[in-house]
Structures are given as structure tokens and as C-alpha cells.
Chain A
Amino acid sequence: MEFPESNEKRKKLGQAIMFGLSRGISYGIVALLFLILFFIVKQGIGVISWEFLTAMPTDGMTKGGIWPAIVGTVYLVLGSMLFAFPVGVMAGIYVNEYAVAGPVKRFVKMMTNNLAGVPSIIFGLFGMALFVNQMGFGASILAGSLTLGLLALPIVIRTTEEALKSVDDTFRQASYALGGSKLYTIRKVVLPIALPNILTGLILAVGRVSGETAPILFTVAAYFLPKLPSSIMDQAMALPYHLYVISTSGTQIEASRPMAYGTALVLVVIVLIVNIAAALLRNYFGKKVKMN
């Protein structure tokens, strides 16, 4: 059979356009990311100094450093993960390994998805009502961490669930076939295999939590504190809120502009470091359980 030459040409052209387009878009996105990073670095690098990182803010937050906001953010990220990670992983295990298929399971999954879509300011209001007022924690690191933890929960649950789902069922069957109980099988076989992917959820959650302002607004964040928090019942400053404050309120917005960019840079770098650390951790575990 003779195939027309023109058809081949058309196919080639179509491919070239499609590949070119998608390559262009993906390069464009990367370029945009670098542009943002470059912008922040360029604007912020000037104020970065040892003092900026380790000193208290002074002169109505136009001078000095952002040390208390760094400390506050680290506490809040750690606190929220301490709550959200174990709870979320356990919930994910329940949904994927224990819950029987049916309306209840569907409902739980639906609610988890809905929770992920709730605007973060709502979490803030809820956190204030429940943790600050109802449970009487007041505006505190504890209340803020729990609120941020709630925000992170759906992410951790979903990624855990997906990670467990991707573990081939024959691993479970092989363990049962050797007389292993369900719990033993999950602990010794399923979780270790799923761990690298579960850690992805942790990465995503940390990224989300560290940048949020709305949930901490009413639950923990302080405009300015003269000293570092000394217990989980204290208020704290936090980078995103500090950034918000010095760039929107006060009488000297222009004067504190460089401080704002410096703060943004520090926030970005912290998120980056946490992400890289988590990715390294994931690769490390991933190698340990490498599939072939």
C-alpha cells in the first residue's frame, strides 16, 4: 500500500507544534518561578545580615532583626506537624486499610476533600472559637499550632491514603499467608513501603503551614513582642504575619519596606530548606525500599 507523503509531514508538524507548546509552557513556568525568586532575593538580600537574623526588631520595626518571627514560625511549623502528622497518618491508615467500602467510607473521604477546600480564614475563626475561647488556651502557640494542624490534616490524610493505596496488594497477601495479622502487616510491611510517599504529604503540609497568615491571625500571632515566647501558652510572632504587618500597617511602611523583603526572603529560604530536607529524607527511605 502507498501512504501519501503529505500525511507524514502533517503528523510531524502536529507533533512539533504540540511538543513545542508544552515545552514552552513548562519552561515558562520555571522561568516565572526563578523570576519570583530572583525578585525576592534581589530586594531582600541587602538587609540580610547576622543582626537581621538574630536581633529583635527595633524602632517601630523599621530597624533591628526578625529573630522572634523566625523562632515563632519554626515553633508553629513543628507544633502543627507534631499534631497533624501522627493524627493524619492514623486517619489515612484507617480510611485505606480498615474502613470497609461503603457509604461511611465515602462520606469520610468526601469530608476530607471538603476540608482541604475550606478557606484558611475559616480555620482561623474556628481555631479561635474552639482552642482560644472554648478550650481556654488563649492566643498561644498551642492554639495556633492546633489550628494550623487542622489546616494541614486533610493534606496528610490524602497523601497517606494514596501512598497506602499504591502498595501492591500482594505484599499484604504474602504477609497474611505467613500468618501475619493485619496490624503486624501494616506496621512491618505496608508502612515501610509507603513511607517515602507519606513523607511527600509532610513536605506539602509544611509548605502550606509555614506561609499561612489567616489561621494564626486570631490564634497566636502577635504584632510585636519584646521577648521570645517561653512556653506553648505564650503568643508568638511569625514570619508571614510579620511580613503582613510591616507592609500594611504602621506609620512607616516605606521605611520598613526593605525589612519586608528581607522577611520574605527568609520565609522562602526556610520553606526551601524544609522541603529539601524532607525530599532528602524521602529519597533516603525510597532507596531503602526501592521497587524494581
Chain B
Amino acid sequence: MANKLETIDVNLHYGDFHALKGISLAIPDHSVTALIGPSGCGKSTYLRLFNRMNDLIPNTKITGQVLMDGEDIYKIKSSKIDHLRRTVGMVFQKPNPFPKSIFENVAYGLRVNGISDNSFIENQVEKTLRQAVLWEEVKDKLKKSAFELSGGQQQRLCIARALAIEPTVILMDEPASALDPISTGKIEDLIFELKNQYTIIIVTHNMQQAGRVSDYTGFFYLGNLIEFDKTKKIFTSPSKRETENYITGRFG
């Protein structure tokens, strides 16, 4: 399997603070990769490398290479960054639908990017809501405010919103940590479905979740990538002591 994403010796500084320390990691196409590690170890920071969200944080310095389909995304023209962000969808920890209707939330990405053909938009909205397994629940109230949905539904709406512009990579930063177990289960099922078409990276604090949904797991600690391997391997016979301590809860 080809590598969809790869970082080569990436260092990131927030001002004086060294947040990512020489991370080299290759992520295969059509896979789910879980990033685990204690709070503050750099998981979210690493995730944001791939859609250049860290660029928005002042005083951030990045060295090394970040490759997508073999191309260094930090060498592209600045006019291509919007294009990059379109190919990389992002889902956040807290459901954050826009203050718009359910329909317009999903259509947002299409409209931003200049698509105005209404029948195309309608089709795309239905298609992605089905993909996010939300269509049956919302098809009769598409015009209603997205805030009227439950937290779990809102999160699936946010996933649909990300899918609508047909990205190839989806970044999820603790997408289920604010949800109840049933909603969490639905999100996990969804991730499982989506990996046929997308390359997914998911940050999670939930070891069972990492075990359930991911093919690969990376363990971060204090800005270092301690270990990266098949999830099965990480959870059955990790090769580093720190990893074992962390996943068994004997940590710190």
C-alpha cells in the first residue's frame, strides 16, 4: 500500500517551546491511524500539520518535510493552501456546527468554493448525510437549525460537512470524547465505513477506541514519537517500555 501521508524529521516550535521533536512517520493510504499519548504530548499539533492549521498560530516554526502523495505541502504556493485544506477534512473535539440550518451546514464547503448549482448541492448534501449515517434522522428537518440536534448527531453532521467537499484525508481530534457511549459507537462504526474511501487519522484518549477502530497506532510522549506500529502489535506486544506502561495504565 502506498503512503498517503508522511512526515520526515519534523520539528515544530511554539515560540521557544519545542512541541514536536523530529517526528518521522509514514501513513498508508486507506487506513485508520490512531494517535495516543498523555495530554500535552503533541498529538493535536501533529494532526494540524497536515492541513497547515498550525500556520494560523503566531510564532510557530516548522522544519522538516510533510508529504502528501509524495509532495511537500509546505513547499506549495500559498495560493494552493486553500486547495490543500479542501483535500483534508477536519473534525473537532466538541461538535461545532455553524449557526445555520442542517442543510446549509453540509452545503457550506460547496458554497465557499463557488459551487452554486442547486440540484448538485442537494444531491451532494443527501449523499454525504447518508454517508455519515444521519440522513434518516434529519431528512424531514433539513431546514431546522443544526443546534437543535443532539451532541452525537451534531458530530455526525460535522463529519458530513467535512465529507461534502470530497476530501481524501480526514483528521479527527478526539471526535467522540464529548459524546455518550451510544453516539460514540455510531461514530466508531462510521469511521470503520469511511476508511474504504479515506485516509483517517484520529487522536484519542480512549485505548479501547484506538484498539477498535484503527489499523495503526502511534504513541506520542513529550513531543517525541515513541512507537508506531500496527495497532494489534502495539496493544499486544509493544516494543517500548513507555508504550506498554501507557496502554496498560501504569503511567506517570
> 8 Å CB contacts to A: which residues of B82-103?
82-83, 85-86, 88-90, 92-94, 96, 98-100
Interface contact A179-B165, CB-CB below 8 Å: yes
B2 at interface (Cβ–Cβ under 8 A)? no
| Partner-binding segment picked from B3-11, B50-58, B120-128, B231-239 | B50-58
Note all chain B residues with C-beta closer than 8 A to A39: none
Known: A176-B53, A177-B90, A292-B147. 19 other contacts (CB 8 A): A101-B58, A168-B94, A173-B56, A174-B96, A174-B98, A176-B56, A177-B53, A178-B85, A178-B108, A178-B112, A178-B165, A179-B82, A179-B113, A188-B108, A189-B98, A189-B99, A193-B99, A289-B99, A290-B145
Note all chain A residues with C-beta closer than 8 A to B112: 175, 178-181, 184
Interface residue tally of chain A, by bracket?
A: 20 to 34
Q: In this complex, what residue of B is CB-closest to A194?
A: B99
Note all chain A residues with C-beta closer than 8 A to B161: 174, 178
Given contacts A173-B53, A173-B90, A288-B145, whether A178 and B109 have CB atoms under 8 Å apart is yes
Interface contact A288-B99, CB-CB below 8 Å: yes
Distance between Cα atoms of A170 and B95 in the complex (Å): 9
Q: In this complex, what residue of B is CB-closest to A101?
A: B58
Name A's interface SS: helix
- CB pairs A–B below 8 angstroms (16 shown): A170-B92, A171-B96, A173-B90, A174-B90, A175-B112, A177-B85, A177-B90, A177-B162, A178-B113, A178-B161, A179-B109, A180-B112, A192-B100, A288-B145, A290-B147, A292-B147
Note all chain B residues with C-beta closer than 8 A to A178: 85-86, 108-109, 112-113, 161-162, 165
What is the CB-to-nearest-CB distance from B7 to chain A, in angstroms, rounded to a whole number?
A: 19
CB within 8 Å of A: which residues of B?
A: 51, 53, 56, 58, 82-83, 85-86, 88-90, 92-94, 96, 98-100, 108-109, 112-113, 145, 147, 151, 158, 161-162, 165
